[in-house]
Amino acid sequence: MRLWTRLWIALILAVVAQALVTGLVFHWLFFSDPVEAEIRHAVFRALMAAHGIQPSPWRHLLLSPYTPAALTAVVVSAATYPIVRQLTRRLERLQQGVQALGEGDLHARVPVQGDDEVAQLARSFNTAAARIEALMQSHKSLLAYTSHELRTPLTRLRMTLEALAGNREPTAVDAALRDARRDLAELDGLIDDILLASRLDAAPGQTLHLDDVDLLALAAEEAAHVDAEVEGDWVTLRGDERLLRRAIRNLLDNAVRHAPGSTPQVTLQAAGTGAVLRVCDKGPGVPAADTERIFEPFVRLPGRGDGTGLGLALVRRIARQHGGDARCVPQPGAGACFEIWLGRKP
């Protein structure tokens, strides 16, 4: 039996039960004593005769205490039927949406009507469906890009092994081993970036291990690896030290890769309850049209060197997990500045 049918029948039965109880109470109060009941009947018949009303079974039925209750049940059932049916129809649409999503239709959504619990459930479903669709699309793109990116170092490794098989000269062997180690390091870095991106996408905000982080000290530690100095304010922020360290390292590696021979400039500035970290380089810069595209996974600008293509994408993901964002600020003729906003949006 359908849900709306059960609800409607349950409501009618409740009204009928209330009518029966009311009738029984009325009968017990006024007609339980036969003598008093006969007196009341005689008075009623005399009153009817005084007004010229003749006794009739239909009049007796209409004057019965059960008749108003029965009419009430009819009126209530007629009035509540469209309400119950509308409610259950919305639930049916929600059920159809869940079924479609379960069958693989990631575009499945349900209309949101009203502002009650069913509407809130529909909104929650649409939000969850959109999140699932975004995750699936992200994972598909990640898998496609990963398959492409893994081919390059694997191909180089295969060529190195083939060269080693046909060449036994010590100099050539040493060079081949260096190339193999470089390719293995590239593979290791790529896999590490992919795993981190997958974790950040799979559970936003749930992978954070929050603690009080001294951002200036953290930036100084990472900048020391590239002989850069850090200037700015002392800022202590609630965040994940491991992820924040990774974001700063990625920005520094990006600056060194695209501006070899120059030292990145690192500054930290307090911004309300958050902070802004800037890493500027003196490389070729980023065209204004590409300042957003470079934060997409596996995007590399032409002629900008090596890299997995995930470094800046991870920087933005980490910044957003800390309530902020990342952006590129072009510096015409003077390289580019990358900013990480933490604790607030830019």
**What is the distance, to the nearest Å, from the Cα of residue 84 to the centroid of all Cα atoms in its chain?**
32
pTM, rounded to two decimals: 0.55
> What's the CA gap between 25 and 31, in Å, rounded?
10
Tell whether 117 is covered by a domain: no
pLDDT of residue 340: 92
pLDDT of residue 60: 58
Task: Tell me, yes or no, whether 240 and 154 share the same domain.
Answer: no
Instruction: Supply the DSSP symbol for 226.
Output: T
Tell whether 292 is covered by a domain: yes
| Structure tokens, 99 | 């079924």
Q: Which domain holds residue 188?
A: 136-202
Task: Tell me, yes or no, whether 297 and 327 share the same domain.
Answer: yes
User: Which of 174, 202, 230 represents a domain boundary (last residue)?
Assistant: 202
pLDDT of residue 275: 92
| Structure tokens, 140 | 């598909």
pLDDT tens for the chain, 346 residues long, are 565 566 667 777 777 777 777 767 766 766 666 766 666 667 666 666 676 666 666 555 555 666 666 777 677 777 777 777 777 778 888 888 888 888 888 888 888 887 777 788 888 888 888 888 877 776 776 676 666 667 777 777 777 777 777 666 777 777 777 777 877 777 777 777 777 776 776 655 556 778 899 999 999 999 998 888 889 999 898 888 888 998 998 899 888 888 887 889 999 999 888 899 999 988 888 888 888 888 887 776 765 555 556 788 889 988 988 889 999 987 766 788 999 999 877 7
Helix axes 3-30, 34-50, angle to 10 degrees: 90
Report the number of distinct structural domains present in the chain.
Answer: 3
Specify the length of the chain in residues: 346
Task: Tell me, yes or no, whether 96 and 54 share the same domain.
Answer: yes
Strands 265-271 and 230-232: parallel
Residues contacting residue 20 through CB under 8 Å, at least 6 positions apart: 66, 69
Task: Tell me, yes or no, whether 178 and 71 share the same domain.
Answer: no
* Cβ neighbours of 22 (radius 10 Å): 15
CA distances from 302 to 22, 257, 287, 306, 320 (A): 86, 14, 11, 10, 27
pLDDT of residue 187: 77
Task: Tell me, yes or no, whether 66 and 185 share the same domain.
Answer: no
Tell whether 71 is covered by a domain: yes
Q: Which of 84, 106, 82, 103 is nearest to 6 (CA)?
A: 84
> What's the CA gap between 280 and 267, in Å, rounded?
9
Task: Tell me, yes or no, whether 193 and 269 share the same domain.
Answer: no
Tell whether 89 is covered by a domain: yes
pLDDT of residue 133: 82
pLDDT of residue 278: 93
- Residue 185: beta bridge partners? none
- Residue 213: beta bridge partners? 237
Q: Exposure of 98 by Cβ count < 10 A (0-12 exposed, 13-18 middle, 19+ buried)?
A: middle
Task: Please check whether residue 345 is in contact with residue 291, taking contact to mean a CB–CB distance below 8 angstroms.
Answer: no
Task: Tell me, yes or no, whether 196 and 218 share the same domain.
Answer: no
User: Which of 177, 202, 227 represents a domain boundary (last residue)?
Assistant: 202
Task: Tell me, yes or no, whether 172 and 254 share the same domain.
Answer: no
Task: Tell me, yes or no, whether 216 and 319 share the same domain.
Answer: yes
pLDDT of residue 345: 76
Tell whether 76 is covered by a domain: yes
Q: Say which CATH number the domain at 265 has.
A: 3.30.565.10
